[in-house]
Amino acid sequence: MEDKITVKNLSKIFGNNPGKALEELRKGKSKDDILGEMNHKVGVHEVSFSVRKSEIFVLMGLSGSGKSTLLRLINRLHEPSGGEIIIDGTDLTKLNKKQLREFRRKHFCGMVFQNFAILPHLTVQENVEFGLELQSVDKETRAAKALEVIKMVGLEGNENSYPAELSGGMQQRVGLARGLAVDADILLMDEAFSALDPIIRRQMQDELLEIQDRMQKTIIFVTHDLDEAFRLGNRIAIMKDGKIVQVGSAEDIISKPADDYVKAFVEDMDRSAILTAASVMHPPEDTAFIGDGPRTILRKIRKKGLTGILITNTRKELKGYVRAVELADYINQHKDSENIPMDEKLIHETAATDQNTPLSDIINLYTEHEYGPIAVTGDDNKLKGVIVKGAVIAALSESYSHPENGKSLDKNL
Amino acid sequence: MFSYRIPLRQWITTVVEYLERELGPAFDGFSAFVYFLVDNLKEGMLFLPPIVLILLIAALTWYMAGWKNSIVAFLGLLLSENIGLWEAFVETLALVLSAEILVVTVGLPLGIWSARSDRFNSILRPILDFMQTMPAFVYLIPAVMFFGLGLVPGVVATFVFALPPLIRLTNLGIRQVPIELVEAADAFGATEMQKLLKVQIPVARPTILAGVNQSIMLGLSMVVIAAMIGAGGLGEDVLRGIQRLQVGQGFEAGLVVVILAIILDRITAGLGVRKNAAK
């Protein structure tokens, strides 16, 4: 996928002489030394990453990790102390004030803030029109566009309300709509949902995903909430002390944490919601073809030491599951015949799922279907892999906490 | 203690005399402008029959501050007319309004500037402290030297005295605009002017209008003092009461000043809360 934003060695040091502090930092001085000796605070230190077009990229970290500073560096609300920010081929750090303003208008959908930052003296409609008004868009176009996004975020009927009359969730919708109204494609969100109560927050996350489906903006989302990061992020960057510790999908981060810090972070995550079928399935080696004939199939089952086997046709399309016990009985009944045909009744329907199904849903499949492993299939019904119970349990147990003492059973995994 | 006395008073006199001599034409021009302003305001208001102006002011009070305040204003104004202080009332109102127009014209830009520049703010602040702690009577001397006697030096002295709170509160109001609102404007690519006009001033509006209210109240407190240099109006009646020890006359004029203060306070206090109030 195409890179929309590329950040190279980006740094931000707060103080009178950031250049000097950066130099000292490069020479190997620690952040604490810089703070102690020079009284300069290192906000972001030589960070590099890229954001792909139309993805939600989450910057995740505890407070003071530099995530909000990094977000503000990307549109130069904070002046970088060093490094490059390249958006659609333009290096933002090289622009003068006027060019930067033009660039912001063309490329950034403003910003969405934790405390909404909508204007108290304007109505919802006027607030949503704000970005367009700055660009001197004419009144009719402005109103039409505003109405369109007001509908999109579900604020219809509140166009003429003032922010003070709205709940927190609704105010944040105004903030979001204000960003979406502008004809630009990068949306920066700073702890956008952190001030909302959990149920509303969840709802807003869902709506953001829904809107993103339609709008396909490139979103950089800052949060300190891991659940939120994993729910929203196509990719997540975990930050610590002004640096990015790891960038990857939720699954990457859960299954291959880069260091102990990340590991400690993700320890308490509900893994079943994040890990998907793809991460626990085995390649479908142990399958039989429907044309193989009962004896061949049974031999195959016995050889592998299984209790049954998945059946496909020659195009690898899933047909069902055959149990060894039933198959053996069937063969016994027909032991005089040279060539017995396969009986359709022997092929049981089996649980099938696609690669992106989270484990939490897969567990339910086990309770619904009596026999066999779970088949993982693609859109074309072709078999992609097999999930056996053991693999699911193993994947989940990596973070399993004992209900009685609350301690992780296996810290080393 | 020392045989040498610092010639501070000579210095000040020299500076003021120098200004008077060199900038005389400029002061004359300014004087003409202020006179034009205050005289037209006064004559305009006196041109109307008292009852019409009384009803207009009562209506404005109603609109800005509700019917209860409006009734107080109406009765107070009728009383002023009845005790024969109507012309003095109008004169004082013209003086306070003219001074306030000057205060807003000068104070608002200075307040905005000091909110945007820490350096300017640090220069301006001690000057404002000086202006506010200097006894108001002292302003009368240079005012008379530059502008002679009459309404104009009265307006100027009132202006100088009433200026600081507006600058301070404008500065404060703009600095208190939440940083995120300013960041939001920047993030959308607002120019400095757009940021100021569409975000900072509207959000700071209640505080700025509190500054307007404060400066009007200070201006009113200057009314009696300004009468000492012939500014006329209600202050003159109060002064006459003092000089002749006529307690009734002095109190009457004082009461009308209070009435004027109440009306102006209610109207300008209403300005600040009107629009931002959520229903």
A153-176 confidence digits (pLDDT tens): 888 888 899 999 998 889 999 999
The pLDDT of residue A174 is 92
Measured CA to CA, the distance from residue B179 to residue B185 in angstroms comes to 10
Q: Which helix (H) or strand (E) holds A311?
A: strand A308-312
CATH number (domain holding residue B31): 1.10.3720.10
Nearest chain B residue to A118 by CA distance is: B181
Measured CA to CA, the distance from residue A32 to residue A15 in angstroms comes to 14
Distance from CA of B112 to the nearest CA of A (A): 19
Measured CA to CA, the distance from residue A95 to residue A101 in angstroms comes to 9
The pLDDT of residue A187 is 92
Angle, helices A168-181/A139-152, rounded to nearest 10 degrees: 130
pLDDT above 90: residue A276: no
ipTM confidence: 0.76
Instruction: Answer yes or no: do A134 and B184 touch at CB < 8 A.
Output: no
Measured CA to CA, the distance from residue B46 to residue B91 in angstroms comes to 9
Tell whether B129 is covered by a domain: yes
Q: What is the DSSP letter of A358?
A: B
- pLDDT per residue as tens digits for the range B204-246: 999 999 999 999 999 998 888 888 888 888 888 998 888 898 8
3-state secondary structure of A53: coil
Half-sphere exposure for A404 (CA within 13 Å, toward CB) = 0
Measured CA to CA, the distance from residue A106 to residue A135 in angstroms comes to 10
- pLDDT per residue as tens digits for the range B32-70: 898 899 899 999 998 988 889 999 999 999 988 888 888
CATH code reported for the domain at A278-396: 3.10.580.10
3-state secondary structure of B260: helix
- pLDDT per residue as tens digits for the range A126-150: 999 999 999 888 999 999 999 999 9
Interface test with A, best of B188, B194, B207 (most A CBs within 10 A): B188
Burial class from Cβ neighbours inside 10 Å (0-12, 13-18, 19+) for residue B127 reads: exposed
CATH code reported for the domain at A53-76+96-269: 3.40.50.300
**Interchain CB contact of A87 with B (< 8 Å):** no
Give phi and psi for A310, each to the nearest 5: -80, 140
What single letter denotes the amino acid at residue A139?
Answer: K
Mean pLDDT of chain A: 84
Give me the residue from A105, A120, A165 closest to B189, CB to CB: A105
Number of residues in chain B: 279
3-state secondary structure of A413: coil
3-state secondary structure of A218: strand
pLDDT above 70: residue A44: yes
Measured CA to CA, the distance from residue A176 to residue A190 in angstroms comes to 11
**Interchain CB contact of A119 with B (< 8 Å):** yes
Q: Are B157 and B139 contacting, i.e. CB atoms less than 8 angstroms apart?
A: yes
Give the total number of structural domains in chain B.
Answer: 1
Measured CA to CA, the distance from residue B252 to residue B258 in angstroms comes to 10
Residues of chain A with CATH 3.10.580.10: 278-396
Burial class from Cβ neighbours inside 10 Å (0-12, 13-18, 19+) for residue A386 reads: buried
Q: Are B57 and B77 contacting, i.e. CB atoms less than 8 angstroms apart?
A: yes
Distance from CA of B172 to the nearest CA of A (A): 18
The pLDDT of residue A371 is 66
Give me the residue from B184, B185, B276 closest to A121, CB to CB: B276
Between B52 and A32, the more confident residue is: B52
- Contact list in A for residue B187 (CB cut-off 8 A) is 75, 77, 104, 108, 110-111, 188
Mean pLDDT of chain B: 89
Tokens of B143: 């005012």
Tell whether B2 is covered by a domain: no
Q: For residue A85, what are the β-bridge partners?
A: A7
- Contact list in B for residue A105 (CB cut-off 8 A) is 188-189
- Can you give the residue range of the structural domain that contains B155? 8-274
Instruction: Answer yes or no: do B190 and A134 touch at CB < 8 A.
Output: yes
The residues on B that touch A, with CB distances below 8 Å, are 178, 180-181, 183-191, 194, 198-199, 202-203, 205, 275-276, 278-279
**Interchain CB contact of A165 with B (< 8 Å):** yes
pLDDT above 50: residue B19: yes
Residues of chain A with CATH 3.40.50.300: 53-76+96-269
Q: Are A5 and A218 contacting, i.e. CB atoms less than 8 angstroms apart?
A: yes
The pLDDT of residue A124 is 93
Residues A350-372: what's their mean pLDDT?
A: 78
Burial class from Cβ neighbours inside 10 Å (0-12, 13-18, 19+) for residue B49 reads: exposed
Q: For residue A305, what are the β-bridge partners?
A: none
The pLDDT of residue A402 is 37
Q: For residue A111, what are the β-bridge partners?
A: A188
CB atoms within 10 A of CB B33: 12
Question: Distance of alpha carbon B86 from its chain centroid, rounded?
Answer: 21
Instruction: Answer yes or no: do B189 and A108 touch at CB < 8 A.
Output: yes
Instruction: Answer yes or no: do B278 and A131 touch at CB < 8 A.
Output: no
**Interchain CB contact of A162 with B (< 8 Å):** yes
How far from each other are the two terminal CA atoms of chain B, in whole angstroms?
68
Instruction: Answer yes or no: do A111 and B183 touch at CB < 8 A.
Output: yes
- Contact list in B for residue A114 (CB cut-off 8 A) is 180
Contacts of residue A232, defined as CB under 8 A and 6 or more positions apart, other chains included, come to: A56, A58, A205, A208, A209, A221, A223
Q: What is the DSSP letter of B63?
A: H
Tell whether B1 is covered by a domain: no
